[in-house]
Chains A and B, each alone.
Chain A
Amino acid sequence: EAGVTQSPTHLIKPSGQQATLRCSPISGHTSVYWYQQALGLGLQFLLWYDEGEERNRGNFPPRFSGRQFPNYSSELNVNALELEDSALYLCASSSAETYYEQYFGPGTRLTVT
């Protein structure tokens, strides 16, 4: 069974621009979660999508947004990039069958210059 996949592996963008990160969940999983792992700040919850809808978001500004497609893959968009957005962005997916335990992808390393 293929795990959660994320692309790209690395992304370098100048401040002020937009970044788009992509995630494909494990087959059969309908929920996708996004987390930010920034140096010194630990892992913080960003967004949760389920069945195509945003269900919950963490304490992040609106320039962090995303969507979930009919095939349950997801996209995270970060607008007006700031230097402090530099972080590892982790995507996870879950299903009801395993008490919603979350399985993580390898992450996208975003560097804002």
Chain B
Amino acid sequence: AQSVAQPEDQVNVAEGNPLTVKCTYSVSGNPYLFWYVQYPNRGLQFLLKYITGDNLVKGSYGFEAEFNKSQTSFHLKKPSALVSDSALYFCAVRPPGRRALTFGSGTRLQVQP
């Protein structure tokens, strides 16, 4: 069975500093990987995805993620954090041949001014 781990419940970073939100996965085959963001009392907003190809994926709002097959990781990164980036971030995996997403437990990002 597939699984996604987000080892940090919360990440704190100062505005202007780089941020990393970690994600590792366990799935057979070559999965599709996704990052979503959730603001309070809102649904999920799609940030970026990895399907195939270049290991560095660029997405919305200046976010990017690096796919590392050997480490089965898909960490979310941003070179310079904004206070408005403060939200709940979810990593998700979709195994080959499946449609349902399996989500990690989420990481709360807090960017301090």
A residues adjacent to B (C-beta < 8 A): 4, 6, 31, 33, 35, 42-45, 48, 50, 55-56, 58, 90, 92, 94, 99-107
Contacts and interface: CB of A to CB of B under 8 A. Distances in A.
A90 B41 CA distance: 11
A101 B46 contact: yes
Given A99-B51, A101-B49, A103-B46, A48 B36 contact: no
Interface in B11-40: 32, 34, 36
Contact of A55 (B36, B43, B99, B104): B99
Looking at chain A's contact residues, is the secondary structure mostly helix, strand, loop, or mixed? Answer: strand
Nearest to A107: B43
A31 B94 CA distance: 15
A105 B98 CA distance: 21
Interface string B100-113: 11111110000000
